[in-house]
Structure 1
Amino acid sequence: MAATAEQRDVPAERRGWPEQDAVVRLQDALFRGRELIESTLSTLIREAAGSAEPVPVTHTGRSELADAVAQVLDKGGRDIAIALTEAGEFTDAVLGHLNRVPAGLPVRVLCTATAADVHADRLSRFQERPRTEIRVTDRELRAALVVDGTAAVVSGTAAEGAAVVIGDVGTVQALELLFACVWAGRPRLNDQLHFGPRLRSELGRNVLRQLCSGSTDEAAARDLAVSLRTYRRYVADIMRELDAGSRFQVGVRAIEFGLVSD
């Protein structure tokens, strides 16, 4: 779920932390740009669906999804950007065709923590290829495959079908920009896999966000519906996993590793 404007504001407790304030302002600007790009993408897809004129957007059913992914991958000659936001049909189709990517072609893969855990072995093997980097995000983003800034396959909604194939260069480049906004500062797959159990759990990530927001222990425990004792135990474990000597340092490390977002 996207953060509200109030949630994106800098908490009073964090004023006076110039480094973190600057990061929050940058994240806010990227978040607003992301909203604009996603709105533009949705508008183009809706217009394409109702247009009688030929448009560079086609809708793909489940049976055609794998072929659509293969055809777009085969166009790759410069670089490939992949967003895998869930373990599902789109992710399976992309992972099943990664062997089509020419050796040495730059590839960036951005995946959710869930996808990283479920497909850790396949992603780790793929990451061994030269010029391949995989990062992990906790942000919402449509699963997508973007090739050379000229063609893309995007996971579809219930009304759009299994996927949407986009050949409009302007829209594809907007997708690349959206990808870059989320890619920046995200932790690498190897870092994600090496995090301890607290930071890899949903509750652990929520505790980390509370820590970075400056909430008191009592308020944070209440918001997360856990006991104060449980909350503080998670805090202690997270500090140990991040090798942080103070709560302030937890916030610094969280930003460094891309563990907190809007």
Structure 2
Amino acid sequence: MQRRREAEEQDAVVRLQDALFRGRELIESTLAMSMREAAGSADPVPVTHSKLADAVAQVLDKGGRDIAIALADAGEFTDAVLGHLDRGPAGLPVRVLCTAAAADARADRLSRFQQRPRTEIRVTDRELRAALVVDGTAVVVSGAAEESGTAQNGTAENGAAESGGAAVVISDVGTVQALELLFACVWAGRPRLNDHLHFGPRLRSELGRDLLRQLCSGSTDEAAARDLAVSLRTYRRYVADIMRDLDAGSRFQVGVRAIEFGLVSA
């Protein structure tokens, strides 16, 4: 009876995961298409590595109603953006979306930065194209993103990849608005920085992510243990530890919370 209930709960997680994935895929494909059409008339301006900080400052100094920032890693783009924001006036509305790698590498700096008023930082397990969008009028997109992140997210895929420099500046309204919408799509439902750091090293480790993916996929314990190359007893102990970390009363709750907190992709 217990195994049947667990199987039904895992099946419900898989159905929820599939529905969320299809919905997000539809939204992102639509946004990517509109952005490619807009980019046809855009005239991106390449930015060299020596001028990256100046380009970031020029766009950020526009101020405005909203600043959206995507941080892919702990490289020069991240340091240029955070460095200028540290020196700038507090109180600007800022949303920062960063990968787990960027959040972990710059945890102290980001934790201090989020204490500023009107600043919110969230974390995603997805690959990002590092970008800075200000007030729907201008964007700086990193030119150093990995190709897989570009293809997956469809962000500024032409100019930055071809520039060979540190970044490109784009002012085409259609492209900027498409990037804003895509940012909002990925932003929604992502865990806050404090929640991400609170999860602890077990859930943030590669093994922890693999365990969560196995649980969300509906794999049997035996199959999951084989895939992870651990004993069945060890796998079940890991599952029990993760349930405690997420304060989940069942495997179904583990799957729901893992998706809700962005620990696995929907």
Taking structure 1 as the reference length, the TM-score comes to: 0.83
Q: Deviations over 1:29-80 (max 9, x none)?
A: 22233245446656766x57xxxxxx54111111111111111101121110
Q: What amino acid does structure 2 have at the position aligned with 1:146?
A: V
Which residue of structure 2 aligns with residue 31 of structure 1? 25
Partner of 2:226: 222
Secondary structure, aligned partner of 1:69: helix
Distance in 1 between the 2:143 and 2:182 partners?
17
Aligned ranges for residues 160-239 of structure 1 at < 5 Å? 160=163, 161-239=165-243
Q: CA RMSD in A?
A: 2.5
Tell me the distance in 1 between the aligned counterparts of 2:33 and 2:109.
Answer: 33
Cα pair distance change 1:194/1:16, threshold 3 Å: closer
Instruction: State whether residues 20 and 252 of structure 1, in contact with CA within 8 Å, keep that contact through their aligned partners in structure 2.
Output: no
> Which consecutive residues of structure 1, in runs of 5 or more, have no partner in the other structure?
1-11, 49-54
Question: What residue number does 1:97 align with?
Answer: 84
Q: Say if 2:258 is the partner of 1:258.
A: no
- Check conservation: 1:65, 1:162, Cα contact below 8 A: yes
Give 1:218 deviation, angstroms. 2.1
Is 1:111–1:136's contact at 8 Å kept on the other side of the alignment? yes
- Whole-Å separation in 2 of the counterparts to 1:22 and 1:248: 11
Q: Which of 75, 98, 102 is the matching residue for 1:115?
A: 102
> Structure 1 stretches (4+) deviating beyond 4 angstroms?
12-16, 38-45
Following TM superposition, by how much is the alpha carbon of 1:83 offset from its aligned partner in structure 2, in angstroms? Answer: 0.5
Cross-structure match for 2:59: 72
CA contact (8 A) 2:248 2:254 kept: yes
Question: Does the 8 A contact of 2:99 with 2:128 survive in 1?
Answer: no
Distance in structure 2 (CA, Å) of the matches to 1:234 and 1:28: 30
Task: Please give the alpha-carbon distance, in whole angstroms, between the structure 2 residues aligned to 1:124 and 1:222.
Answer: 39
Partner SS for 1:97: helix
Deviations 1:178-236 (A, max 9, x none): 11111111100000111122111111012111101111122223333444344333212
Confirm or deny: 8 A CA contact 1:73 1:100 kept in the other structure.
no
Cα distance in structure 2, aligned partners of 1:243 and 1:154? 38
Gaps of 5+ in 2: 1-6, 145-160
- Structure 1 residues 159 and 73, CA, compared in 2 at 3 Å: closer, same or farther? same
CA 1:226–1:85 in 2, change beyond 3 Å: closer, same or farther? farther
- 1:133-170 deviation per Cα after TM superposition (whole angstroms, max 9, x unaligned): 10000112201101001110111156322111110111
Q: Distance in 2 between matches of 1:198 and 1:93?
A: 31
Aligned residue in 2 for 1:7:
none
Instruction: Give the distance between the partners of 1:243 and 1:222, measured in 2 at CA.
Output: 26
Counterparts of 2:8 and 2:43, CA distance in 1 = 49
- Retained in 1: the 8 A contact 2:72–2:129? yes
1:146 aligns with 2:146: no
CA contact (8 A) 2:60 2:134 kept: yes
Deviations 1:98-157 (A, max 9, x none): 125432221110011111111111101110011111000011220110100111011115
What's the TM-score once normalised by structure 2's chain length?
A: 0.82
User: Corresponding residue for 2:150?
Assistant: none
Distance 2:19 2:75 in 1: 34
The number of aligned residues is 243
Q: Distance in 2 between matches of 1:163 and 1:40?
A: 22
Give the secondary-structure state (helix, strand or coil) at the position aligned to 1:133: strand
Q: Larger relative CO (CA 8 A, sep 6+): 1 or 2?
A: 2
